[in-house]
Structure 1
Amino acid sequence: MADRPSAPARLTVWYDGGCPLCRREIALMQRLDRGRRIDFIDAGTPDTFTPIDRGLLLQRFHARENGRMVSGAAAFAAMWRAIPLLRPFGLAARNRIVLRMLERLYLRFLRVRPALRRWVR
């Protein structure tokens, strides 16, 4: 009997559904995720199961890729790898230098996120 190719691994991402900026970003990613390989979970909903502390999930973007929790730029890169259009960016982020640069940009974004949230509302 020939081996059947395995289905692509699913990715789970947790996002802050109370953040208008985050909701817009996730809405775009959902449209781009034509293969439906990503489970998008609003970590801000009180009855939603979270694998780690809800407060931590809401502070940074988190994903579970191949059973491993990642956050920040690594979580975005995992999401990009699951979306064919963005896959080259996700693959580039496997380079530790690229990932380190993306993480620095992400940390800067986190500092201005509160102001951006007010602006997007």
Structure 2
Amino acid sequence: MLPSASRMRRGYEFADAIRRGRRAGRPTLVAHLNVREADEPPLVGFVVSKAVGGAVVRNQVKRRLRHLMRSRVEALPRGSLLVVRANPPAASARSEHLAAELDVALDRLLRRRGSGSRTPTDGRS
């Protein structure tokens, strides 16, 4: 499982990651990443709504996502907040498919972060 020190628990951390972070969507999940200027270990939180299924299904999806993030948390920059939101197809997705979707989303978020800041294109020279 994901180490306890890496789990996000406070509501403001979830809100910060979702509102201020970058987003990468996939059919089975959506990932939000906000990298803060803090020298703390990365925190990961999970959101699985009732649209995914009943309580048993939601808990299974959360456990599968926590297990997948265990080996991927080291790839996140220090001080980052990551929220993984499961979409309804996550309930029936095979673990290999869920892992591939998570890898694609994380790769997109981390690659965007490394590409530098974008300059606004407003038509002025």
On whether the aligned pair clears a TM of 0.5, the verdict is no
TM-score normalised over the length of structure 2: 0.33
TM-score normalised over the length of structure 1: 0.34
Per residue, is there more strand in 1 or in 2? 2
Bigger relative CO (Cα 8 Å, ≥ 6 apart): 2
